């Protein structure tokens, strides 16, 4: 007597659950047809595996830019005079004694090569030094107001730990690369902001008004597109006054980099405006007496915001590469500022590849960031195409 109702409820529950599942399936299909354009774009974007990977990488990069001081091991400006050009101490998990769950490293020891009499580094493999987490190190201010000295990682018993090795002056390359993320990745964003304004302004004027304004702007764009950009960038950044502060230089460089990229965006805006301007619904709006500004903002802009986002995302990597190249040549950002390009400029010759290959590690950051932006941009482009089968 008592068991039956229990059984009943179980059956009922399963029934309800199956019901719910079919309902869910229907609504899933329905959801596709009734989804808003934004929702569709997100759904298609999530299907693009590379784009997701790129997105995750970029998120990690920007997080590490925010938490650079927490993630760094040593003060990026501190000179470890005894450890110039020390090789990287990558965290290890395995050695002759077996596996270790805690990452460890070996202490650096300096010896003099008996033949060449050069100073050389060796690892003391007899003793494992464990990487300690949430350890106190140099003092810093998290987010600019929380005074603390806790860092994610630290070496055991004060034995120095240089995960990526050190540079010619004995500065910790890992900490410097992390700090450089701030400059290198924001320069793209600030640059894109300028690009966006210039592109929308000139593209908008050109496309909406047409006539001789259009012709003049188009000729200017064609001209800018046919100039070799690097020499122009070089000349313009060489012309920046040398007494300018780091902040002034930073913004000047972003503006210089934006000169190259607004042209592409302006063309997209113009093309889209011209094709949308003659659509029936715009004519209808005009006949209903809607103002110019309202037509542009309310009826035309939503038609190509997705294209704008794609075009903007794809122009960021070019800026990162541009900044890297300029700083590498010594014409971009200057020494107290750390960007990936500035770090790489310390590794200019074949000698650094041959003897200190770890000084190239900031280059890997550049490659990773540029790839990630490209993947995300590609994913967005596919996702934003409304005629693509979803």
Partner 1 sequence: MGKYIVKRLALMLGLVIITSFLSFVIIELPPGDYLSLYIRQLQLGGEVVDEARIESLRVQFGYGQPFIVRYGKWITGILFRGDFGFSLQWRESVSELILSRLPYTILLSICAIIFTYIVAIPIGIYSATHQYSLSDYLATIFGFIGLAVPSFLLAMFLMYTLFIYFGVPAGGLFSDQFRDAPWSIYRLWDLLKHLIVPIIVTGLAGTAGNIRILRATMLDELRKDYVETARVKGLSETRLILKYPLRVALNPMWSTIGYLLPAIVSGATIVEVVLNLPTVGPLLLASLRSQDMYLAGSIMFILTVLTLVGTFISDIVLVISDPRIRYE
Least separation in angstroms between residue 210's CB and partner 1 is: 17
Least separation in angstroms between residue 360's CB and partner 1 is: 7
Least separation in angstroms between residue 344's CB and partner 1 is: 7
C-alpha span between 67 and 153 (Å, rounded): 13
- CB nearer to partner 1: pick between 99 and 354: 354
C-alpha span between 58 and 372 (Å, rounded): 6
Least separation in angstroms between residue 353's CB and partner 1 is: 5
Which residues of this chain interact with partner 1, rule CB under 8 A? Answer: 223, 225-232, 234-236, 238-239, 241, 317, 321, 324-325, 328-331, 344, 348-350, 353-354, 360, 363, 366-367, 370-371, 374
- CB nearer to partner 1: pick between 119 and 367: 367
- CB nearer to partner 1: pick between 158 and 228: 228
Least separation in angstroms between residue 279's CB and partner 1 is: 25
Least separation in angstroms between residue 374's CB and partner 1 is: 6
- CB nearer to partner 1: pick between 90 and 223: 223
- CB nearer to partner 1: pick between 111 and 215: 215
- CB nearer to partner 1: pick between 35 and 52: 52
């Amino acid at each position: 007597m008592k068991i039956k109702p229990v059984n009943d409820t179980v059956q009922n529950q399963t029934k309800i659950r199956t019901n719910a599942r079919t309902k869910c399936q229907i609504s899933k299909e329905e959801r596709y047809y009734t989804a808003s354009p934004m929702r569709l774009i997100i759904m298609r974007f999530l299907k693009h595996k590379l784009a997701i990977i790129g997105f995750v990488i970029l998120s990690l990069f920007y997080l590490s830019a925010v938490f650079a001081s927490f993630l760094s091991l040593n003060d990026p400006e501190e000179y470890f005079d005894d450890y110039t050009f020390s090789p990287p101490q990558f965290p290890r998990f395995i050695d002759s004694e077996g596996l270790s769950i805690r990452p460890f490293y070996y202490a650096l020891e300096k010896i003099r090569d008996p033949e060449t009499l050069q100073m050389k580094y060796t690892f003391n493999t007899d003793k494992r030094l464990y990487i300690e987490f949430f350890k106190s190190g140099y003092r810093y201010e998290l987010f600019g107001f929380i005074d603390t000295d806790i860092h994610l990682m630290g070496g055991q018993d004060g034995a120095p730990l240089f995960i990526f090795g050190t540079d010619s002056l004995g500065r910790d390359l890992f900490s410097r690369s992390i700090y450089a993320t701030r400059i290198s990745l924001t320069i793209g964003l600030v640059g894109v902001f300028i690009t966006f304004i210039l592109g929308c302004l000139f593209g908008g004027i050109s496309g909406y008004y047409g006539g001789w304004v259009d012709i003049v702007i188009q000729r200017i764009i064609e001209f800018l597109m046919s100039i070799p950009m690097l020499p122009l960038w070089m000349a313009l950044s060489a012309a920046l006054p040398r007494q300018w502060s780091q902040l002034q230089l930073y913004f000047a460089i972003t503006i210089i980099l934006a000169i190259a990229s607004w042209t592409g965006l302006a063309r997209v805006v113009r093309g889209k405006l011209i094709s949308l301007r003659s659509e029936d619904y715009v004519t209808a709006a005009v006949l209903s007496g809607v103002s110019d500004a309202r037509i542009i903002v309310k009826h035309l802009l939503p038609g190509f915001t997705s294209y704008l986002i794609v075009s903007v995302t794809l122009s960021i990597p070019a800026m990162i590469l541009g900044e890297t190249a300029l700083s590498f040549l010594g014409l971009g950002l200057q020494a107290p500022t750390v960007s990936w390009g500035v770090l790489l400029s310390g590794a200019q010759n074949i000698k650094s590849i041959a003897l200190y290959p770890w000084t190239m590690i900031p280059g890997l950051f550049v490659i990773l960031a540029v790839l990630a932006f490209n993947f995300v941009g590609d994913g967005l482009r596919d996702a934003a195409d409304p005629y693509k089968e979803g």
